[in-house]
A and B are shown apart, each in its own frame.
Chain A
Amino acid sequence: AQSVTQLDSHVSVSEGTPVLLRCNYSSSYSPSLFWYVQHPNKGLQLLLKYTSAATLVKGINGFEAEFKKSETSFHLTKPSAHMSDAAEYFCVVTSGEGSARQLTFGSGTQLTVLP
């Protein structure tokens, strides 16, 4: 069994300040982890993924995430927020093996960027 918990449903930051979106996971197997972003009235777009290689993963638009097995966390960060980062972010976990049924989505974190 696997699950994912996004610890904050809403995060608000000022433009130019750091972003931290928190995600904890549980998995019976070695997980693969993803962060997706969803802009209003759009589908989900892949930001980055972890698949058992380097624990610090760099994604698009300056985002990165660090896989910490001891803390079962995969937090998403960005050094400096931009207005265009305002969107909803989803953490996703999968077992890394197996079928499409194994994908589990978090409930999402809405990021607001203030001018």
Chain B
Amino acid sequence: NAGVTQTPKFRILKIGQSMTLQCTQDMNHNYMYWYRQDPGMGLKLIYYSVGAGITDKGEVPNGYNVSRSTTEDFPLRLELAAPSQTSVYFCASSYSGGGNQPQHFGDGTRLSIL
């Protein structure tokens, strides 16, 4: 029972480089989410998806893109890395998007942009 798996766990990028953060879940959840966590702050929603082929912006989407071609996978892409994107990124999933549904989190990707 893997749950939500994120790769890589750590990455250092140079300004202007691009990369894709991978997220996969094996719980057959419809909803998936990407958050970023900055020091001393709660999580901020970047993008979310309610099912394969459907994505929508969260609170802080600028500088990121997502796709959802399958139920299991929800990759997050940074096209032109900037120092402001240094953060810890968490992927999460839930069975539905209802407010009483708990979300299941991966262990995070720690990203530094230098």
Q: Pick out which of these stretches binds chain B: A14-22, A37-45, A78-86.
A: A37-45
Query: Are A43 and B100 also in contact (CB < 8 A) when A100-B48, A101-B48 are?
Result: no
The reply to whether B99 and A106 contact each other, CB–CB distance below 8 Å, is: no
The reply to whether B102 and A34 contact each other, CB–CB distance below 8 Å, is: yes
Cβ contacts under 8 Å, B105 to chain A = 36, 43-45
The reply to whether B107 and A43 contact each other, CB–CB distance below 8 Å, is: yes
CB distance from A26 to the nearest CB of B (A): 15
The reply to whether B100 and A41 contact each other, CB–CB distance below 8 Å, is: no
Query: Are A49 and B102 also in contact (CB < 8 A) when A100-B97, A101-B58, A108-B40 are?
Result: yes
Query: Are A97 and B59 also in contact (CB < 8 A) when A9-B40, A107-B41 are?
Result: no
Q: Quick one: closest A residue to B59, CB to CB?
A: A101
For window 83-114 of chain B, which residues contact chain A by CB distance below 8 Å? Answer: 90, 92, 94, 97-100, 102-108, 110
B-contact 0/1 string along A66-109, CB 8 Å cutoff: 00000000000000000000000010001111111111111110
User: For the complex, what is the distance from the CA of A46 to the CA of B103, rounded to whole Å?
Assistant: 8
Cβ contacts under 8 Å, A95 to chain B = 99
User: For the complex, what is the distance from the CA of A98 to the CA of B94, rounded to whole Å?
Assistant: 14
Which size bracket describes the interface of A in this complex? Answer: 20 to 34
Cβ contacts under 8 Å, A32 to chain B = 99-100
Query: Could you say which of A90, A94, A103, A105 has the most chain B C-beta atoms within 10 Å of its C-beta?
Result: A103
User: For the complex, what is the distance from the CA of A42 to the CA of B106, rounded to whole Å?
Assistant: 8
User: For the complex, what is the distance from the CA of A102 to the CA of B98, rounded to whole Å?
Assistant: 9
Cβ contacts under 8 Å, B90 to chain A = 43-44
Q: List 10 A-B contacts (CB under 8 A).
A: A32-B99, A43-B4, A43-B108, A46-B104, A51-B100, A98-B97, A99-B50, A100-B94, A103-B103, A106-B42
* B interface list, Cβ under 8 A from A: 4, 31, 33, 40-45, 48, 50, 56, 58-59, 90, 92, 94, 97-100, 102-108, 110
